[in-house]
Amino acid sequence: MDGDDEREWIAHARAAMPLPTEFYLQPTVQVAQELLGCLLVHDSPDGLTVGRIVETEAYLSEGDPGCHAARGRTVRNAPMFEGPGVIYVYLIYGMHWCMNLVTAAEGTAEAVLLRAVQPLAGMELMRHRRGQRPLKELASGPAKLTQAFGVGAEHNRGDITSRPLFVTQGDPPAAIVKGTRIGLGESSGADLPLRFCAASSPWLSRPPNANTTMQRKKR
DNA sequence: GACCAGATTGTCT
DNA sequence: GACAATCTGGTCA
């Protein structure tokens, strides 16, 4: 990864076409898998950042108590009901932003959580936003990712199928590893195999199926 | 390297 | 008032 590579990624991202709304109308689990290898691009006023998506989680409307919309529509989760291609950004633990891409038709609340990306371009800007962290820690987690890419509340209800924040086609990983989702309680569908990772990627938030080690303690 | 606990605030019951 | 799709720094082995 050198400066020439970064310039090529920037040129590629500037010329790239966002994935269309139809992409997000596919079954959510399929979208979550097909997003792996795709490029997340944010052409912000501060500069351009590009990353390859290496980890996602699917949240479903049926039989998934971990989904924010499992108990119906609320003020917070309303974007999940607004149709394919809508960006759903929410605050977690009062400090961190998480970015979801809404799938399924309007009125059906399903989404894919972006958990980790491999930085490809705009690394200096990401470092600036993330506080000079090592490259591998720039976007290896849902909240790290949003911070590195400058995504926040102002992007909630945005459109992922148009600039400046969009996803474009990339190279699919050689293999995909499925696992259970991270951070969910036992009664929230923690055992559902809805986490998808690019196999053997060093850019993941955690190794596949290592989700039980950092559970919150009971209070 | 592995584990633990604190930070911090919007949302929901 | 409790909890949450997390992160980070500190402690200990």
pLDDT of the residue at A219: 29
Q: How far is the CA of A204 from the C1' of B11 (A)?
A: 29
Residue whose C-alpha is closest to residue A127's, from A142, A115, A139, A113? A139
CA torsion angle A205 A76 A108 A143 (round to 10): -10
Please give the protein residue whose CA is closest to the C1' of the nucleotide B5: A217
Domain ranges in chain A are 3-198
A113 touches strand C (CB under 7 A): yes
pTM for this prediction:
0.93
pLDDT at A1: 56
Q: What's the pLDDT at A217?
A: 33
Between residue 150 and residue 169 of chain A, the positions with Cβ below 7 Å from nucleic chain C are none
Statement: the CB of A134 is under 7 Å from strand C: no
Q: What was the pLDDT predicted at A172?
A: 95
Strand C nucleotides within a 7 Å radius of protein CB atoms: 3-8
Nearest nt to the A67 alpha carbon by C1': C5
CA of A69 to C1' of C2 (A): 19
Q: Which CATH class is domain A3-198?
A: alpha beta
pLDDT in tens, chain A (219 residues): 567 899 999 999 999 999 999 999 999 999 999 999 999 999 999 999 999 999 999 999 988 989 999 988 898 999 999 999 999 999 998 889 999 999 999 989 999 999 999 999 999 999 989 888 888 899 999 999 999 999 999 999 999 999 999 999 999 999 999 988 988 877 788 888 999 999 989 899 988 764 433 333 332
Is the dihedral angle over the CA atoms A146, A1, A5, A39 positive or is it negative?
A: negative
List, as one string, the DSSP characters of A105-122. STT--EEEEEEEEEEEE-
Q: Which nucleotide is nearest to A95 (CA to C1')?
A: B8
Alpha carbons A118 and A89: distance in angstroms, whole number: 20
Q: Which residue is nearest to the C1' sugar atom of C5, using CA?
A: A183
Q: Which residues touch strand B (CB under 7 A)?
A: A 71, 74-77, 90-91, 93-95, 213-214, 217
Distance A51 CA to C2 C1' (A): 37
**CB of A129 under 7 A from strand C?**
no
